[in-house]
Structure 1
Amino acid sequence: MKFRNLEIYVDYGKVDISLIRNFEQAFGIKLPKLYIELCLNHNAPSIKNNCITYYDFYNDEEGMTSIGFDAFINEEDFDGYSMSNILRQYICDDSIYGYEHVYSFGSSANGDWICFDYRDNPVGDEPKICIVIHDEYDKKTGKHLLFPIADNFEQFLDKLKTFDEVMAKYE
C-alpha cells in the first residue's frame, strides 16, 4: 500500500473521524490535515521507510532512529496497556520533565517520542515535528531533551527514508 511517499506494509485499518475529533477536543489541539488523511486510511501504519535523522545539538552529532506511528484506539478496545495508543500522552502531562503543547503521535525503536510541537502556535494546525528523548535530560532545565525534526508533518513524511537509504551516506 502507498500513501504519498510511504510504503505501508501493514496497518490497523481505518480510523473513524470521531476518534480523531475526540482526541483533538481532549487535548485542545488541531491535528495536521495530512496526518488526519493518513490516519483515516491507515491506523498506526507500519512503513518500510521508517528512518529519520535529526541534529542532536546537545551532543553535537547527527541522530538517527526508526519510528512507529501510534494508533487511535476506541474505548471499547482500549486495554489500558497499549503503548501505541495515541491517548497515552506522557510529554504534555509531565510538568517536571515534559513540555506543554507537545503531543506524541509515535515512538522510536529506542522508546523516544515522535511529537507534534505546538509551542510556537498552540492553536495552529501545522505544528513542527520533534523527537523527545525519553532517557536524557537537559542539565539546565531538567527536562527531556527535545530536538526538531521537521517544520511540519508534510516535511516529516518527506524526510522518512529506509534504513539502507540512511546508511548509504556513510559508505
Structure 2
Amino acid sequence: MIFKDFDLSNFWEDSEYALQEYVGQAPSDELIANIEEELGFKLPASYIELMKLHNGGIPKNTCFPTSENTSWADDHIAITAILSIGREKPYSLCGELGSQFMIDDWGYPDTGVYICDCPSAGHDMVMLDYSKCGKDGEPEVVHVDQESDYKKTFLAKDFETFIRGLVSEDIYDTSAQDLIDTLESFKTGRFSDTLQQYFKKETAINFDSVLRNLFTELSKEKGYFALHGDPLSYLAYDVQFYLLTLNKEIKSKAAFVKAYLPMVAMGNNEISTGGYADFFKDWFDERVGNKQIVQTAGNFEFSEDYKNQFFEQVRKYE
C-alpha cells in the first residue's frame, strides 16, 4: 500500500497563491494517460496517487536533506511546490511553466519529469530521473542544479521516499548562529583593501573601530547584517561617503555609486553585506536635497554644518 501509515491530511499548505498557481482538479485516468504520452514517461504510481488526493501545491515541509552540498545549502535542498498533473495551472507538468518548459526554455536535461520548482526561480529543480530505469520504470528523485552545469544530486530512490523525507525548514534555521558568527567577524574580520586604504587618510578618528562598532550595534538591532533605510544604515552610508571624499573626487551620483560598491557592499573582504539594495542611492538624494551634501568646485562633499554633526555622531562609536 502506497503511503501506508503516513498522514497526508496535514501535508499541504493551501494558501491563496498555492490554489491559484499550483493546485489543479483531481486528474482523470484519461488526463494522466495524455500527460504521460506528452511527456514521454510513465509517472510513478505514488505520484499519481498523491495527485489524485490533492493535485499539486505547496507542502508544509519544503526541505529535503542531502549528503553533499548544492547551490542551495551544504546539507539540504528546498522546494517551492510540487507540480500538478495537467495543463491548466501555470505550474503543472504540461503548463506554461511546467516540466517541458524547463527543458525547452531553460535547457534542463530531457531525462525525466521535473516535478518540483525551487526558491531560486528556475535555477534548480527536482526531477523524476529515468536515466537508469527507462521511460516505463520507477524513477529516482534527483536535484538538478542549472548553476552547476545541470549537476544531479541524488535525493531518494523513489517518489514516495522523497515525500516521506521532506522536513520543515525550521530544522535548518541558522539565524541565531549566523548572527553570532557575524558579530565575531566584526571583531576580527578584515575590511576590503579599498576601505583599509581609505582609513589611512583620516587620523583624527579611527574609522576602522567606528565601522566595527556601528555594524555591531546595527546587526544586534536587526538580527542580521544589512544596510537599509534606517538611521544606523544612514550613518554607515555617511561614514563611507566621508571616506570617499577624502580619497576620491565625487563629481556625480553615478561616480558615488560606482565608488561605493567596493567598500562594504561588494568588497573582497570578510566584512561585507554581500550585496546591496538602492537605499544608499536614496540616502544620497536625501542628503543632497537637505543640503547636507553640497557641490564645491564640482565635487560632492558634506556641508560644514553637517560635517560637524557627522563627527559628533561617529565619535560615539570609536
Please report the TM-score for the alignment, with normalisation by the length of structure 1: 0.74
SS for the counterpart of 1:114 is strand
1:1-171 matched pairs, under 5 angstroms:
4-6=6-8, 7-10=11-14, 11-56=23-68, 61-74=74-87, 77=88, 82=90, 84-87=91-94, 88=98, 89-90=100-101, 92-93=103-104, 97-111=107-121, 112-134=124-146, 136-138=147-149, 144-167=150-173
CA distance in 2, matches of 1:64, 1:160: 10
Return the offset for 1:58: 7.0
Return the offset for 1:123: 3.1
CA distance in 1, matches of 2:143, 2:66: 8
Structure 1 residues 150 and 19: alpha-carbon distance in aligned structure 2, compared to 1, 3 A threshold: same
Return the offset for 1:93: 4.5
Structure 1 residues 14 and 58: alpha-carbon distance in aligned structure 2, compared to 1, 3 A threshold: closer
Q: Deviations over 1:103-147 (max 9, x none)?
A: 20121112321110000011333100011123x133xxxxx2221
**Count, aligned residues:** 155
Q: Is the 8 A contact 1:13 1:41 kept in 2?
A: no
CA distance in 2, matches of 1:166, 1:113: 19
SS for the counterpart of 1:9 is coil
Task: Structure 1: give runs of 5+ residues left out of the alignment.
Answer: 139-143
Relative to its length, the structure with more strand (as a share) is 1
CA distance in 2, matches of 1:33, 1:152: 10
Structure with higher RCO (Cα < 8 A, 6+ apart)? 1
Task: Structure 2: give runs of 5+ residues left out of the alignment.
Answer: 15-22, 178-318
Q: Radius of gyration: which is bigger?
A: 2
Q: Percent identity?
A: 23
One-letter code aligned to 2:162? F
Q: Deviations over 1:14-47 (max 9, x none)?
A: 2222222111112221111010001112111321
Q: Is the 8 A contact 1:90 1:98 kept in 2?
A: no
CA distance in 1, matches of 2:65, 2:166: 8
Structure 1 residues 147 and 90: alpha-carbon distance in aligned structure 2, compared to 1, 3 A threshold: farther
Match of 1:141?
none
Structure 1 residues 56 and 93: alpha-carbon distance in aligned structure 2, compared to 1, 3 A threshold: farther
Q: CA RMSD in A?
A: 2.9
